[in-house]
Amino acid sequence: MAVIGQDISQARRVLEAGDLVAIPTETVYGLAGNALNATAVASIFDTKNRPSFDPLIIHVPSLLVAQNYVIEIPEPLRKLAEHFWPGPLTLLLPRATSIPDIVTSGLDRVAVRVPDHPLTLELLAQLDYPLAAPSANPFGYISPTSPQHVDAQLGTRISYILDGGKCKVGLESTIVGMEGNDIVVYRLGGLEISEIERIVGQVKVKSHSTSNPQAPGLLESHYAPSKPFLIGNLDELISKYQSQGIDFAVLSLAKTFSFIPSENQIALSARSNLKEAATHLFAAMRMLDESNTAVILAELMPETGLGRAINDRLKRASTKA
């Protein structure tokens, strides 16, 4: 398995050898390689078994450095960067020629962000290249929010995991770009729409696509457990599977059921706090996926605040069911 530690110098040595390192961010753990090295980026796709038409996000230490890898930053997006970087915001910007085609899947825009994690910011500050870093998990599976999650899934394929503890946001970044004069949210994530609109006014929200996405992380089937994952009214779903004699696990916002073993149910937030629920979502899905049950039953969250982003992940996790 991989070495888990906090040695930034070791992480840098691995990256400079053209190999991959798992890095912590406030959202999820990323599988990182030199974004300017097409061979290293190809290794990311290979290690994750990620389709080459799904572009990657590059990570930089600051807005100032980001400007080196893009042609321009439109003023509304610059305002967002000034307010929310470091943080769970990714900007889709016209790329500079230094960014290899493989990073953007041949598209003319590159996804850029400044992650809000002290270890990774320190690592990025010591590098003279950005890091391409999708989530550090096999493609399509639940995103990792701890170094142990990464090790369990990719520990035999990478040598080093930079240990930044548990991720404090727990949902991938919100991706924002522009089409003409319109500000467009391409992926719901850890930065709420209301916060974005507070800075730049009304935005358009695009739904995810099934192929040839314009931005990272937009495929329909994604973030999915290996077990069937069903969304609906929990009381009705539980009654149905009880009557069929099928063992099940339950994922709810706050509700618990006295007749279900505690190890087979998780409430994301006893206070129905959606930020807390977002932090716990992927770890909870992973725990229930490892339970001795045949299926996971879940409910949608309120469509407010981060509830919209959580529901986006729940719906895409349920595609295989």
* Beta partners for residue 59, in sequence order: 113, 131
The residues near 25 (Cβ < 8 Å, ≥ 6 apart) are 59, 115, 116, 117, 120, 133, 164, 167
CB atoms within 10 A of CB 262: 9
User: How many Å apart are CA 89 and CA 112, to the nearest integer?
Assistant: 9
- Has 13 been labeled as part of a binding site? no
Rg (CA), the chain: 19
- Has 27 been labeled as part of a binding site? yes
- Has 187 been labeled as part of a binding site? yes
Coil/strand/helix, residue 160: strand
CB 136, CB 20: distance < 8 Å: no
- Has 11 been labeled as part of a binding site? no
Q: Cα-Cα-Cα-Cα dihedral of 42, 46, 52, 55, to 10°?
A: -70
* Beta partners for residue 230, in sequence order: 297
- Has 50 been labeled as part of a binding site? yes
- Has 143 been labeled as part of a binding site? yes
In this structure, the strands spanning 204-205 and 30-34 are unpaired
- Has 109 been labeled as part of a binding site? no
- Has 271 been labeled as part of a binding site? no
User: How many Å apart are CA 304 and CA 192, to the nearest integer?
Assistant: 9
- Has 252 been labeled as part of a binding site? no
Give me the amino acid identity at 95: R
Q: Count how many residues are written for the chain.
A: 321
Which residues fall in the annotated binding site for ATP? Answer: 50, 59, 135, 143, 187, 223
Which residues fall in the annotated binding site? Answer: 27, 50, 59, 113, 133, 135, 143, 173, 187, 223
Which residues fall in the annotated binding site for L-threonine? Answer: 27, 113, 133, 173
